[in-house]
Amino acid sequence: MTTTPQATTITIANQKGGTGKTTTAYNLAHALSHEGKKVLLVDFDPQGNLTLCFGIKQPDKLSVSMCNILDAIMSDKTIPAAETFLHSQGKIDLIPSNIELSVSEINLRDEMGSDKILTSLLEPMKENYDYILIDTNPSLGLLTINALAASDRVLIPVNPQLWSATGLTQLLNIIVKVKKRINPSIRIEGILMTMCDFRTNLYKESFRLIKDHYGEIIRIFDSQIPMSVTVGEANFYSQSLLSYHPKSKVSMAYQDFAKEMIQHGQQ
């Protein structure tokens, strides 16, 4: 008897802004699809930046977004049909978001079992994908906890220019609490260095500190994402780096990272 493959669900999290969470989610999805993987992107950030990257120009005018889906679940109503909210690019689907999701976060405070709302949405969808990538907002609030509760792994992007040992420790403490109280199967996928200017002493010193503090307990991926204006240009045109400039260093870095992550997951 064969079993239906289940997606690996990965939350991309760091409560600090400017670490490349959205850029990583979008371009990792395209790099994984380039490896033949079917990917679901989940925009779980009220800013809706991942939705914008996907080419949806006016997220606030969407008839169905993540807010509507969560509200239906919390109200015990029928979830909207997938075709009303899924947007597609080849092997990649997106559940979009907009500023209304911030209202849903407020409503979650009074909801029984609020930490499992996203899980109830994604669990039936896992059989349709190889990976589900959740882009989170820069906080450690109820939305991020919901994402962690629904995930198998956590990927932590770290910008060496903004690195803070205290900030990373706070995130790790939240992950430990979620593992103990809500989701015992969650584990840390690793740290991905982003926006790296390899020539600077700041990068070298920051990377050394990260290895010294966390290298023995958390995987630090060999692939590192370089600083590049190409990222901003691709985002401006709502294109992935693989489409906009496939031979650029940053595009090739995300392709290398996708291969490394797939290999790591098979070990």
CA–CA separation, 115 vs 112, rounded Å?
A: 8
Residues 6+ apart with CB under 8 A from 119: 146, 149, 150
Tokens found for residue 57: 């120009």
Alpha-carbon gap, residue 34 to 247, rounded angstroms: 14
Specify the pLDDT at position 255.
97
- 217-250 in b/e form (b: 16+ CB < 10 A) is ebebbebbbbbbebbeebbeebbbbbebbeebeb
What are the residue ranges of helices labelled H in 86-237?
Answer: 101-108, 117-122, 142-149, 165-181, 201-214, 229-236
C-alpha–C-alpha distance, residues 163 and 168, integer Å: 8
What confidence score (pLDDT) does residue 163 get? 75
216-256 per-position pLDDT tens digit: 999 999 999 999 999 999 999 999 999 999 999 999 999 99
SS3 157: strand
* Structural tokens at position 153: 């792994």
DSSP 242-264: HHH-TTSHHHHHHHHHHHHHHHH
Q: Confirm if 35 and 128 have CB atoms less than 8 A apart.
A: no
| DSSP 8-state secondary structure symbol assigned to residue 78 | P
In CATH terms, 8-252 corresponds, of 3.40.50.300, 3.20.20.70, 3.40.50.2000, 1.10.260.40, to 3.40.50.300
pLDDT for 2 equals 46
Contact 163, 14 (CB under 8 A): no
d(CA 135, CA 23): 9
Query: Distance between CA atoms of 259 and 197, rounded to whole angstroms?
Result: 22
174-224 pLDDT, tens digit per residue, is: 999 999 999 999 999 999 999 999 999 999 999 999 999 999 999 999 999
CB 44 within 8 A of CB 97: yes
Helix (H, G, I), strand (E, B) or coil at 267: coil
For the chain, the domains span: 8-252
pLDDT at 162 over 90: no
pTM: 0.95
The arithmetic mean of pLDDT across residues 146-155, rounded, is 97
The closest alpha carbon to 66, from 115, 121, 1, belongs to 121
For tokens 């995300």, the residue is 254
